[in-house]
Amino acid sequence: MLRKQARIVDVLQYLCDVSVLVTAFLCAYWVRDSLLLSSHIGHLFPLYRYLELMVPTVGMWSLLLYYFGLYDAQRAETLQSDLKKIIKVAAIGTLVSGALAFLLKLDFTSRLFIAIFGCMALLGLSVARVLVRSAAMHVRRQGLNFRNILIIGTGRRAAELIQVIEAHREWGLRVIGLITDRVNWGSRKLGQYSILGPPSSVRNIIKRHVVDEVIFAIPQKRLEDFQETFLVCEELGVPVRVAMNLFPCTIAKMGIDQLGGISFLTYSTTPQEEVVLAFKRIFDVTTALLGLILLSPLWVIIALTIKLTSTGPVLFAQTRVSLNGRLFRMYKFRSMTEHAEQEKKALLSLNEMSGPAFKLTNDPRVTPIGRFLRKTSLDEFPQLINVLKGEMSIVGPRPPLPEEVEQYQPWQRRRLSMRPGLTCLWQVSGRNTIQDFNQWMRLDLHYIDNWSLELDMRIFAKTFLVVLRGRGAR
């Protein structure tokens, strides 16, 4: 997944390029047929005749863009290289269009129109590339959209890997430090990167830092020495990259990837299909927007009812744990008394859920209106804001509290390897009637290991039935 986000950007770039080509085609027709030109060389044929040419023309230019490698998922080209390729595409596309118009005797096609379209397409495609790259760099300069990388090894391989990452900041990779067993690691550094500890400290380092991927940059002959370290990463649900397929894996799926010409075998326990995951995100955003818009009158009624029936704020914000340990503020309609968090300690002995989670039937802190909101799950709706912000998904493991995560067993932490959601298998498989915390965790891991868009749609549909029946709600 080192270049996963870049692949998604390539798909979006393609859609952007198609939009640019269509716009350039229409603008070229308008410019050529404007009063300024038509008064001297005559009007063009009606627009509908030219629209018949638009689809094959845009298709041909798209193929040229693809042929010159502008949508290659493994590409690591500079902006200057991209612009040179676009110039070649524009030159060849314009010449081929003119030649085909001549050979096919398309007498209604203006050669000046073809030239204007070629120039506009060249300009539009170039500007689009500059804007997309500039936007990506701006986002990353703000500290967003980065993947945190932990490197194991400080030899030649590690140095080469760091050089590649440093040379391509646009990939959005950030090295948080290195692990090695060859130096006095307590106060040493490799360049600007801190050596965080020996291999035996991997578990604690991953718990203390947000780690999206671990890379083993060590000699082949030493891979066997790091087998235990690899298994720890697999247990915690953190994707691992190594140079050779020498480690046994019972959960993680293997894939092949490249970074600056360096080949890797990737082991990951989470879904890796970039385009399908992009559709999941599109579904999240679309559903969240529709929910926020269509249900806004209901939200006003709920807010007024909460305000009129109890003291305290309408919304309840609480720190939760998201993907790979990221912290965020999750929103809910307040369903408890104003000081419910302070009153929780007195109720811990009544906890009906095994493990670190707290569940209590007839919780005295729940207000009358809050009981209705919980039964109908209306209290969860403000989390659509978290979905829009990218902190949550519509479907995914429920976001835990930081103090719950601290008590996780190692195998349970793997549930943090996928973005949390509004609903999940636990929600449609019994909800609060499931009192075994380990069973809840196994349901979440089953979801991660078997994830697909179809599974998301089934869970999403079943959620409505569960909510309507009020099954398992408290």
Per-residue pLDDT reduced to its tens digit, 102-150 = 665 666 666 777 888 889 999 999 998 888 777 777 766 665 667 888 8
367 close to 375: Cβ distance less than 8 angstroms:
no
Average pLDDT over residues 293-314: 90
pLDDT at 254 over 90: no
Rank 256-260, 314-318, 371-375 by mean pLDDT and report only the highest: 314-318
> For the purposes of burial, counting CB atoms within 10 Å of the CB of 342, is it exposed (0-12), middle (13-18) or buried (19 or more)?
exposed
pLDDT at 187 over 50: no
Residues forming a β-bridge with 175: 149
To the nearest whole number, what is the mean pLDDT of the chain? 80
pLDDT tens column, 57-93? 888 888 888 878 777 644 456 777 888 889 989 988 8
Task: Report helix, strand or coil for 344.
Answer: helix
pLDDT at site 21: 92
Domains in the chain, CATH or no CATH each:
4-141 (no CATH), 147-268 (3.40.50.720), 274-469 (no CATH)
Structure letter (DSSP) for residue 197: E
pLDDT at 348 over 70: yes
Which residues contact residue 144 at a Cβ distance below 8 angstroms, ignoring those fewer than 6 apart? none
pLDDT at 469 over 90: no
Kindly give the pairing relationship between strand 253-259 and strand 421-423: unpaired
Residue recorded with tokens 């599109």: 282
pTM as predicted: 0.64
pLDDT at site 122: 92
